[in-house]
Chains A and B, each alone.
Chain A
């Protein structure tokens, strides 16, 4: 049983190392794009088949976004980011649960010893991916706040004059807020990575303990966790975006 924190390298594309996480991420995003592209090309007034599924997904996410923002225009503005995060994280979480997790692969060199390198590894089980996604989200939050309030007013959330009413306390709270913006990146990163990676480790361990029937309830658990984590990532992004556009008090 080999467990590695970093994604394993499958092969090199020139000097670019292709890891198993990257491969799954590319397949998932490519499949999502192709699917929506195909439906948009054959758009019908009366939906049939998978167009129904796409419409249900889009409508329910848009309703959810609108119930948080309470504003149609803002909802339409936030919708693309939220829906992309939700769908991509959801499917990349679930892609790691397909049969063959940790078992089907090629023989290769990893960390100095000869071992099996599985093809399947969820994209979210790679720290690089979750870090990149949370950096995108945190920077979008800052830019949305600045765009909505203006840089001076947005800055007043973090830099409060020590001569204002609760003397000095306001300044300390503002600085804490500033630190928590950095903390958001870390908590977004490790929440998603930890949940998905822990799930894969759990399933691999269970598979090696008892190969039949015992992993089944854990697979159900992981399907649930994958969905919940996608929802949590998207919802927290949405809530933080909304909070960034609310002007500070005083």
Chain B
């Protein structure tokens, strides 16, 4: 296999596999947050800020995969 092709496959695998976990995590996070807002609509703003913080932290895992993929492609 050529080096260029191997690099592309590697980057695609890194990003694709790396997105599975955070995807599941974000789904769980949003569903729980919506449940909490549904049960107690007055707490919406408080739940929302915590949710956005948690989303950013969860999303970071996917971002690590993205950084690795970009480094394989352009590094």
Residues from chain A with a CB closer than 8 A to the CB of B13 are: none
Residue among A3, A195, A236 making CB contact with B63, cutoff 8 Å = A195
Q: Return A56 CB to nearest CB of chain B, in Å.
A: 18
**Contact string, A1-17, partner B, CB cutoff 8 A, digits 1/0?**
00111000000000000
- Whether B56 pairs with A232 at a CB distance below 8 angstroms is yes
When distances are taken between beta carbons in the complex, the residues of chain A under 8 Å from B63 are 190-191, 194-195, 198
Q: Are B64 and A5 in contact (CB under 8 A)?
A: no
Please classify the interface of chain B as helix (H, G, I), strand (E, B), loop, or mixed, using the class held by over half of its residues. Answer: helix
Residue in B52, B66, B74, B75 whose CB lies within 8 Å of A228: B52
Are A232 and B57 in contact (CB-based, < 8 A)?
yes
Per-position 1/0 for B53-75, Cβ under 8 A of A: 10011011001101100110011
CB-CB under 8 A from A231, the residues of chain B are 53, 56
Report Cα–Cα, A191/B66, bound state, in Å: 10
Q: Taking the nearest CB of chain A, how far is it from the CB of B30, in angstroms?
A: 15
Question: What class of interface size applies to chain B in its complex with A?
Answer: 10 to 19
A198 and B74 form a contact (CB under 8 A): no
Is A5 a contact partner of B66 (Cβ separation < 8 A)? no
Question: How near does chain A come to B26, taking the closest CB pair, in angstroms?
Answer: 14
User: How far apart sit A183 and B15, CA to CA, in the bound complex (Å)?
Assistant: 21
* In the complex with contacts A5-B75, A190-B60, A190-B64, A197-B53 CB distance below 8 A: no
- Which of A4, A191, A201 is within 8 Å of B60, CB to CB? A191
Q: Assess A197 versus B56: contact at CB under 8 Å? Given A5-B75, A190-B64.
A: no
Roughly how many angstroms separate A235 CA and B50 CA in the complex, as a whole number?
A: 11
- Residues of A whose CB lies within 8 Å of any CB of B are 3-5, 187, 190-191, 193-195, 197-198, 201, 228-229, 231-232, 235-236
- 10 CB < 8 A contacts A-B: A5-B75, A187-B64, A190-B60, A191-B64, A194-B60, A195-B59, A228-B56, A229-B56, A235-B53, A236-B57
Starting from the known contacts A5-B70, A191-B56, 9 additional A-B residue pairs (CB-CB under 8 Å) come to: A5-B74, A187-B64, A190-B60, A190-B64, A191-B63, A194-B63, A194-B66, A195-B60, A228-B56
